[in-house]
Amino acid sequence: MSSDETPNVPTPRNSREAVREKAQQIQTKQSRARVMRGIIIGAVAIIAVGAVGTAVTMAVTSTVSKPMMNPDGLEGDGIVVRSLADTTAEAVPATPTPEESEAGEETAEPTAEPTNAAVDVHIYVDYLSPGAGEFERANSRQLASWIGEGAVTATYHPVAMLTASSSGTKYSLRAAAAAACVASHSPDQFYAYNHELLIDQPEVDSSGRSDVELADLAVAVGVDTPKVVRSCIEDADYVGWAKEATSRALAGPLDGSDDLVLTSAPMVVVNGSAYVGALDDPAEFSQFVLTVASETDPTPSPTPTPSS
């Protein structure tokens, strides 16, 4: 007796086709997944390369847009002071009172109009150096007088030998750069600014003045373009120059000499000869200047020392 309830079992042929169809579906999905992965990886790579390119471009652009700047109006690495502004004389203190001799008479204060030709004086100064402060306090009035009379041409060289001695703030370097800002943008006030930096120095191993305080001091001495000078100091425009100028001085020869190299700051070079006397003795320095001038100028005409 026939029955219509025979199970609906697929034939072998139908079974193989079903398996093949299923495999094709899986293969299609895998292919799509591979394609998507490839697209994602490619996109990530493009983004990564773009980011690296952007970073390099920014770095290069930054370097190109901020080249090392050099101050204007310098001779070599020196700031020449040929004349003094009226305000400078008021800022420089009087020469120390002459000491009295045992007989009660005052020893004559040394004065010099060293030669017919102006004596060439180069002063290498680190604004954190205690010795530089001593020399300025002892000799500033004397130097100002000589400069005013045209007897001396003084050239200052800000250097940074004590950069590591300011609690990580690099005060020597920043102060040298600040002095260059004043010299470049308001040269008539450089001598006064240099003087203030030296007579009111921070302690060695202290943090020193901030850039804002260095700029404030420049404004206080009456720079002609306070906004420009402040921007120059606070933006550290001449820090690179100060660093390289120091390296050049250490390598030598120093401006104003044939074979000298910077060994300390201050270092004072007069007509090519280094001063090795006491930094705080204006009489000794004056005698050195007069002696060197007479040896290097064929027609010396020193101002005679007043007799007691």
Strands (E), the chain: 79-81, 119-125, 152-158, 267-270, 273-274
The token pair at 49 is 């390369």
Among the listed residues 105, 97, 95, 110, the one whose alpha carbon sits nearest the alpha carbon of residue 305: 110
User: Phi and psi for 3 in degrees, rounded to 5?
Assistant: -130, 140
Top pLDDT among 21 and 44 is at 21
Angle between helices 171-185 and 226-234 (to 10 degrees): 150
Name which of 94-103, 193-202, 238-247 the model is least confident about. 94-103
**pTM, rounded to two decimals:** 0.70
pLDDT score for 215? 98
* pLDDT exceeds cutoff 90 at 204: yes
Angle between helices 130-149 and 190-199 (to 10 degrees): 150
Mean pLDDT of 68-76: 92
> Is residue 126 within 8 Å of residue 265, measured between CB atoms?
yes
**Dihedral angle computed from the Cα positions of residues 45, 48, 54 and 58, in that order, rounded to the nearest 10 degrees:** -150
* pLDDT exceeds cutoff 50 at 307: no
